[in-house]
Every structure is written in C-alpha cells, then in structure tokens.
Structure 1
Amino acid sequence: MKLIIGSDHGAVDLKEEVKRVLKEEFAEVEVEDVGTFGTESVDYPDIAEKVCTPVANGEADRGIVLCGTGIGISIAANKIKGIRAALCHETYTAKMSREHNNANVLAMGGRTTGFEIADEIVRTWMKTEFAGGRHERRVNKIMALEAK
C-alpha cells in the first residue's frame, strides 16, 4: 500500500507524529510526505491537491491531510474528483469512515487533535476495511454526485 501525507504549517508537528506511527505500526506501507516541512505559512488547498491527486489517479491507495483544524483541508480534499475525505476527531468516526464510507483520505487538525488520540485514529483508520454490501450502493451514490 502507498499512502501520501501532507500538512500545512498548522499541523507539521502532528504530521511528524503520524509518520512515526505509520513507520512503527505499518512498516509495509510506503509513505510519501509532500510537505510542508516548516512553520512558514502555506495554503492548505495546495497541500490537499498534492495529497489527493495521486490518490484519485490511483497512484496511491490512501492519503492523510492535516491543517490547523482539519476543516479547511478536508473541504479542499473533497473538491477533488474521486476523493472521500473524512475529518475524524476520535476512533469511532475513523472506523465508520472506512467501514461505511470507504474513505480514501483521513483529515485531522493539528491544533485540535492531541498526539495520543491522533495515534489511535490513524491505527483504527488504517486497520479498518470497507464493509461493502449495502454501503457500496451508498458510496456509489456519493460518487455519482460528482457527475452532476
């Protein structure tokens, strides 16, 4: 599996923590960091595009996007055709985003989510598979909205 990760300046520290968890617990996952790498201000839509375009094109399997609250970058991510980004604040929504919605991008906030809960969210999100079944129909309907 290949995963792309990126953050704006408001979540650089959280991005580094998430990368640590991915390396320790999901060593088989190839992780590509597309930035940013410092605290100088950058625009989160640019980071969302860098993460989500390869996911949407099939060049990567999943993505993780981070900004100060996770709100702006999740909105930007969901503007890219083929992306189902879920802003998660705890493990239940992380699990449901994968199991029911087949989310291919996880969003979190560097100023709103502590390292400990972020670690649990990432572990849950990475380990949860899409349930399919009745959820497949609903995800297909979500994706059909892009064509309208």
Structure 2
Amino acid sequence: MENKLAIGSDHAGFAYKEMLAHWLRDNGYEVKDFGTHSADSVDYPDFVHPLAASITSGEFERGILVCGSANGVAITANKHAGIRAAIAWAPELAELARQHNNANIICVPERFVTEEAARDIVSKFLNTTFEGGRHKTRVSKIDC
C-alpha cells in the first residue's frame, strides 16, 4: 500500500495536481485522482471529503491535496477523525509534519510555491518516517 496514493485538488490547485500525479506515476506510484478534473470553479469539500474518507477507511495510507492557499483543503480534511493534514510550503515543513505529527495528508498551496518546490515538498512527505516516541503520545491525543 505504500506505493498507493490519493490525490485531489480544487480548481486553484488543478494544474499542480495534474503535474504531481504525472510525476508520481512516472516514479512508480499508483495514484488515485479524486478530482477535480478541470480548472473550472468547484467547491473543494466535494473532493476533499472522499479523499479523506479513503484514508480513514484504510484504502490509502497517505494523500496529497492542492489548492490555492491549502487552507480550505486542510481545514476540511482535518474534520475527519484520524486525519492529520498539514500545510507545507517548504520541504522542511513536510518533513516535520511526518516526523513529529505523523501527517497522513500533505496540503500544497499552488499559489505560493513553484512546481519544483511542490515536487520537493511531496517527495519529503513521502520519504520521511514518523519518529514515534514522545511524538506518538502527543499524536494519540489529537482526536477527540
């Protein structure tokens, strides 16, 4: 399941979602695209909720969401128990989100990062492991 990823976006993240999905497939990942499928204006919860549910159900371990600021998709995804969606605009933030928070969704703000940075963020997210230890205790206290 480690090579299976969920990906989704709204219209403001559509271009980077497409770029990232193609790049991930070229690098051996199986990617399920939860949409959107064009740059036409949409409501991001329509795509975020199914993606988050696919992670809470165990279909996928991790997901990638892209929107203009990453705020809306992160807020929506984090409404699901068991989801730890983190916004990252630098690879170091993605690394810390994995190491310390066991983030299972990374949220990329298309309007604020380059394509290269987006790939670096996703790469760091996918290649960093959770440290556990004291962080495991903290993460276990997140869900109400």
1:24: which partner in 2? 26
Secondary structure class of the residue paired with 1:141: coil
2:47: which partner in 1? 47
Question: 1:20: Cα distance to partner?
Answer: 2.5
Question: 1:21: Cα distance to partner?
Answer: 2.5
Structure 2 Cα separation of the partners of residues 141 and 57 of structure 1 = 20
* TM-score computed with the length of structure 2 as normaliser: 0.94
Structure 1 Cα separation of the partners of residues 65 and 122 of structure 2 = 12
Partner of residue 6 from structure 1, selected from 5, 8, 12: 8
Structure 2 Cα separation of the partners of residues 99 and 141 of structure 1 = 16
- Structure 1 consecutive aligned stretches of length 4 or more whose deviation exceeds 4 Å: none
Give the letter aligned to residue 23 of structure 2.
V
Is the CA contact (8 Å cut-off) linking 2:15 and 2:39 kept in structure 1? no
Is there any run of 5+ residues in structure 2 with no aligned partner, and where?
none
* Per-residue deviation, residues 56-110 of structure 1 (Å, max 9, x unmatched): 1111111111111111111111011110000000011100000110000010112
Structure 2 Cα separation of the partners of residues 20 and 121 of structure 1 = 16
Task: Tell me the matched-pair count.
Answer: 142
1:65: which partner in 2? 65
* Per-residue deviation, residues 111-141 of structure 1 (Å, max 9, x unmatched): 2221010011011110001111111001001
| Pairwise CA RMSD | 1.0
2:114: which partner in 1? 114
Structure 1 Cα separation of the partners of residues 127 and 26 of structure 2 = 14
1:132: which partner in 2? 132
Is there any run of 5+ residues in structure 1 with no aligned partner, and where?
none
Structure 2 Cα separation of the partners of residues 54 and 113 of structure 1 = 27
Paired residues for 1:81-96 under 5 Å: 81-96=81-96
Give percent identity, aligned residues only: 42
Structure 1 Cα separation of the partners of residues 126 and 8 of structure 2 = 16
